[in-house]
Amino acid sequence: MPVSEMTTAPAAAPAPVPRLAGFTVGVTAARRAEELGTMLERRGAVVLHGPAIRIVPLADDAELLAASRALVARPPHITVATTGIGFRGWVEAADGWGLGGQLLEALGAGTLIARGPKARGAIRASGLCEAWSPRSESSAEVLDHLLAQGVEGRRIAVQLHGEPLPDVVEALALAGAEVVEVPVYRWEPPVDLAPLDRLTDAVLAGVVDVMTFTSAPAAAGLLRRAGERGVREGLLRRLRGPVLAVCVGPVTAAPLEDLDVPTVQPQRSRLGAMVRRLEGEMPARSRSLPVAGHWVVLRGHAVVVDGALRELPPNGMSLLRALARRPGRIVSRAELLAALPGRGVDEHAVETAMACLRAALGYPKLVQTVMKRGYRLALDPAAGPVPLGGHCLHGDVL
């Protein structure tokens, strides 16, 4: 076939960029951390794991054993199950101590309340049946229900879910109830603190875009360890600023919000719902710029150029952020040098990092050199609206 008759196949459009690609997410969870990390990685995120707590094995928990024996000796009138995994673990631990049958008989002699569907399922799986469950899945609604029916003189077992419930316990006690706290899966600091310290250092270094929390003890544990290392205030500044704190629910968020750390939460307190909320949140925290005939979207540690994800080296990303703060305007070499991690020793470091940035972007003309003055992004001020999938800046994420 003559060359003049040959047709060139159109270039394939780039595959859709995962919504969390280019972002680094910190995971503080101990339980279900692998499941959460997998969900995040499937959506393109880079995951850093630093467990802030560890779970005391139920079989070794003397407090749980003592509470179980007390309830077998004097069965409760009412038992409140707050979590499915907690109630199941409690029954399994009691089986191991030879108390399983006696415990179920004691609980079954009274009324069982399930805080949510998972707790309800665990109760039924044990052969018992709940009498009531709140629609909101909240401890507050459980408390209102109990107070409305009257609890004076009643013995109430409250299965805790990793942290104390002082508001519930105190309110029941003030109303005349005898409350037995059942400390299921109690939290303690991790044996190996190195992963948590590395995660904290990454946040302080500006490497992490999002921190996820699935329990209040994890949030408290992170801050407690940061305090021991003398970096608590620096960590809080990051969490109040460029780093997004995502919590599975309001109970988890409480220790952070008490310290003026803004949080994002899903409507339903579930891991999947939390990840979906994050998927919707992070692209909106990106910045889209029309540059030299292309659309450039800045994400955490990467950029999307015309719909294609391009990973950038840390120095290159630092330069691009500095240029994007003043798109189209000249940024001096001295200013760019100050923006480099570790602050290079001379302006030659800027030239080296700039060459790497241009190569990684794939379009060298995105960044213009202005002789003897510095560099600038070749902004297209007359460009049209942001294309589908592009996002404008919401908050200072540069």
pLDDT per residue over 15-33, tens digit each?
Answer: 688 999 999 999 999 888 9
Q: What is the CATH number of domain 58-185?
A: 3.40.50.10090
pLDDT digits over 182-192, tens only?
988 778 899 99
The alpha carbon torsion through 32, 37, 38, 39 (nearest 10 deg) reads 90
Distance CA 383, CA 58 (A): 61
> Which pLDDT score, from 0 to 100, does residue 85 have?
83
The two domains 58-185 and 287-377 share their CATH topology (first three levels equal): no
> Which pLDDT score, from 0 to 100, does residue 217 have?
87
Distance CA 61, CA 58 (A): 5
Helices within the chain (DSSP H only) = 33-42, 62-73, 84-96, 100-108, 117-125, 139-149, 166-174, 194-204, 216-228, 232-240, 250-257, 271-281, 314-325, 333-339, 348-361
328's tokens? 């189209």
> Which pLDDT score, from 0 to 100, does residue 279 have?
94
Pick among 3.90.1150.10, 3.40.50.300, 1.10.10.10, 3.40.50.10090: CATH of 24-53+190-284: 3.40.50.10090
pTM of the model: 0.75
> Which pLDDT score, from 0 to 100, does residue 345 have?
62
Q: Which residues of the chain have pLDDT under 50?
A: 1-11, 388-398
Fold of 287-377: Arc Repressor Mutant, subunit A (1.10.10)
| Alpha carbon 386 to chain centroid, angstroms | 29
Domain ranges, ordered by start, for the chain: 24-53+190-284, 58-185, 287-377
What number of CA atoms fall less than 13 Å from residue 223's CA on the CB side? Answer: 19
DSSP conformational letter for 27: E
Query: Mutual orientation of helices 232-240 and 194-204 as an angle, nearest 10°?
Result: 50
> Which pLDDT score, from 0 to 100, does residue 61 have?
81
